[in-house]
A and B are shown apart, each in its own frame.
Chain A
């Protein structure tokens, strides 16, 4: 029995939409500025841009305002908006070597070339509520910034040489021949057009190429990626990852200038990158370390690490667990798809359910008729 739609209800639907707006605006507080959301809820904006797969901080902030903070709805709005715009081109693929790093750490090596930079992080602080923030004001912020800048003004501050870019930590392992160079697991030999799969143009089929897997995870929902990666970390899998390097920073976006054909930097995007290292022993082969890779829009470390763990997990030669099964992982991590499917169950299914009901009643009647035969006990 297929789905049978309903009609009518236009007025009630319009009123319901207005009521939703009323819920957002009925309080007495000042209207929330999009600029405020963009600057002060930066993690939220980053998450929505990543899951909506559209780097547009102003629009992400607007979507957050409109959806009253629902990340699924906000990302959905960005995905819907992007369908109204033409694709004007592709950036030049570049390694992340040129990243303007604001944070990079390694859990594998204490001393890494270029040094460890903690950057902006809450990793080593207690998660205690800061009641001072209840009395936040412009003045207090200015004072805080003054305080921060006080001891970095020259000549009191002499900057240790701070490189423009950092060498990769995994190069250390690569040089010593400790890292497997090829991607493990079964990979389809040929990719799609110009070698890169684009899931906004083609539907995902299996076995999926590496570029398809990377794109799917980069636009995946943080919670979905985390759940599957966490299942692997806890033991439903066998990775035991170590974070070789975690980086947060800005990647230059380069295109080919249409007049000069030279690379032309149009700006930069904030990204998080993770490389996890895991031991790997293939039958009859020298044991080596293998790599899992994660990269996503914005500052979202949970997502980048989860992506890297899943990338490594999906390289399993004989997938046994959910997180090692490429088809399972890639089919279940999209936020807009999964949220949409979950919520579609709210829509009227009157006809399909009526059919279920009829069948159940009929089955019960048949059982009842059988049970009335001698020797069969009626369990109802």
Chain B
């Protein structure tokens, strides 16, 4: 169970990185399902807590987030997305609910769709990681001869 929960959340992260047309496609995929919006997407502030090197917790600053909650077949779905993103938030909350249900085909279709999107972002991230890796440096100290 813990594993599938983790997966559900990973899926949500992928959704936050999708572009608008992909989010629309995803919502179309879910259109066969009856989804009740229990909390419409609303903007709010999440205070970010940080921990310094002395193990003191402090507030780094606030983050603009959008929150939404849905219900599908009696299962609750929730999402919080960074930024003013009502569409993505609703999509992520819907996916959260649907992935808990017992509807094999739809679940698989959603997971496949997200996996394709995830692959694209992973590839882009990997290229950036390589560019960063190329800046690894080893300085030599100059010794007077």
A interface residues, Cβ below 8 angstroms from B: 49-50, 53-59, 82, 85-96, 102-103, 110-111, 115-120, 148-149, 152, 157, 159-160, 162, 168, 170, 181-183, 195-200, 210-212, 214-215, 218-219, 251, 253, 255, 257-260, 262, 264-267, 269, 271, 275, 291, 293, 295-297
A301–B75 alpha-carbon span in the complex (Å): 46
> Max chain A CB contacts within 10 Å: which of B55, B60, B63?
B60
Kindly report which residue of chain B lies nearest to residue A83, judged by CB atoms: B45
Residue B135 interfacial (CB < 8 Å):
yes
Chain B residues 42-70 with CB under 8 Å of chain A are 43-65, 67, 69
Beyond A110-B139, A116-B138, A258-B69, 20 extra complex contacts between A and B, CB < 8 Å = A54-B61, A54-B63, A87-B47, A89-B47, A90-B48, A91-B48, A92-B49, A95-B55, A102-B132, A152-B134, A196-B58, A211-B57, A219-B61, A253-B48, A262-B2, A262-B5, A265-B13, A266-B16, A266-B46, A267-B82
A258 adjacent to B64 (CB under 8 Å)? no
The residues of B that contact A110 with a CB separation of less than 8 Å are 138-139, 141
Separation in Å of the A219 CB from the closest CB of chain B? Answer: 6
Separation in Å of the B88 CB from the closest CB of chain A? Answer: 11
A297–B64 alpha-carbon span in the complex (Å): 13
A124–B64 alpha-carbon span in the complex (Å): 35
A266 adjacent to B65 (CB under 8 Å)? yes
Kindly report which residue of chain A lies nearest to residue B128, judged by CB atoms: A102
Residue B87 interfacial (CB < 8 Å):
no
Kindly report which residue of chain A lies nearest to residue B1, judged by CB atoms: A260
Q: List 15 A-B contacts (CB under 8 A).
A: A49-B61, A55-B82, A85-B64, A93-B49, A96-B50, A119-B135, A183-B56, A210-B54, A214-B56, A218-B59, A219-B61, A253-B63, A262-B2, A264-B9, A266-B82
A115–B5 alpha-carbon span in the complex (Å): 35
| CB within 8 Å for A115 and B136 given contacts A55-B48, A162-B129 | yes
The residues of A that contact B132 with a CB separation of less than 8 Å are 102-103, 117, 119, 162
| CB within 8 Å for A218 and B64 given contacts A96-B51, A157-B130 | no
Main DSSP-derived SS at the A contact region: mixed
B59 adjacent to A198 (CB under 8 Å)? yes
Kindly report which residue of chain B lies nearest to residue A52, judged by CB atoms: B61
A93 adjacent to B61 (CB under 8 Å)? no
| CB within 8 Å for A117 and B137 given contacts A54-B64, A58-B83, A196-B57 | yes
